[in-house]
Amino acid sequence: MFQDTRPAALHDLGGPDPWAEFRVTARAEIGVLMRQLRDQATPLVLSTPRGASLVTELWSIDSDKARLSFVAEAAHPQLPALLTADEVVAVGYLDSVKLQFDLADLLLVRSTQSSALQARQPEVLYRFQRRSAYRVRTLDRHAPTATLRHPAIPDMQLALRVVDVSIGGCALFMPADVPALEPGVRIQGASIELDADTRFVATLQIQHISSLHNAGEGLRVGCEWRSLGNESERALQRYINQTQKRRRLLSLD
């Protein structure tokens, strides 16, 4: 299924260390990745084991004090749970690479005009690059769309461009002026129209949110199909196969 922003369970399984190949401990390399997250304004999901979560961005890095500052609204309802939690994990994406790291010494810093969530820069970071479902980029000329109601604002109907699809899920382009969608939210009754012959209704579960390069102001919303019927799944598989063939023919022109 699609990659998501739930932290990987990095428990000690005994025997050889199963996470060694994913672990980054070099301070210089961690610093490079942190700067990439900051410079690309990558959406990050901060979460606790009890389910509290917050979508934010890395705002600044204080290398001398080894501190990170994240964008935060002081009135956000999830902040108290994050600030008092024993464990907070950050997850975000740089292209197809999933980054995960723990945050310690969280505190909310306020000024007269803004606020920020600060934490100690991690000494360990994990990089995962796994994709289990082959995806195809949709053909723009068909204007594939997903029509749905905003889960937090039921009166708001959205028509979001479908960026790519797989048998496991899809990615949607969310313009910057659309109120944020939160990972973990399930959206029922989404109407998917990929082309004139491929239309179906599906339940979407938002799995992750990341930057979408070269697309102007907006984000990539990765979704997993839920409750996809057999007929819809067959139509989706036909669309994927046909799109692959068309792209191969276009590459030969």
CATH 2.40.10.220-classified regions of the chain? 136-252
Task: Quickly count: other Cβ atoms within 10 Å of residue 129's Cβ.
Answer: 11
149-168: per-residue pLDDT in tens? 999 898 999 999 998 888 88
Q: Is the pLDDT of residue 56 over 70?
A: yes
Q: Is the pLDDT of residue 142 over 90?
A: no
CATH 2.30.110.10-classified regions of the chain? 20-128
pLDDT at position 244, please? Answer: 75
Predicted structure pTM score? 0.59
pLDDT at position 47, please? Answer: 92
Beta strands of 49-152 (E only): which ranges? Answer: 53-56, 58-62, 67-71, 88-94, 97-110, 115-120, 125-128, 136-137, 145-150
Hey, what are 171's tokens?
């990615």
CA distances from 99 to 6, 34, 121, 129, 239 (A): 11, 10, 14, 9, 32
7-16: per-residue pLDDT in tens? 666 665 555 6
Instruction: Read off the DSSP letter of residue 125.
Output: E
The helix/strand/coil state of 215 is coil
Lowest mean pLDDT, pick from 74-83, 91-100, 155-164: 91-100
The helix/strand/coil state of 202 is strand
Lowest mean pLDDT, pick from 44-48, 132-136, 173-177, 228-232: 132-136
Q: Is the pLDDT of residue 75 over 80?
A: yes
pLDDT at position 35, please? Answer: 94
Task: Given CATH 2.60.120.10, say whether it is the number of domain 20-128.
Answer: no
> Maximum Cα–Cα distance for the chain, whole Å?
59
The helix/strand/coil state of 95 is coil
More confident residue, 75 or 106: 106
At position 181, the amino acid (one-letter code) is L
pLDDT, mean of residues 177-186: 87
pLDDT at position 206, please? Answer: 93
The helix/strand/coil state of 42 is coil
pLDDT at position 229, please? Answer: 84
**Arch. (CATH architecture) of 136-252:** Beta Barrel (2.40)
Confidence of residue 1 (pLDDT cuts 50, 70, 90): very low
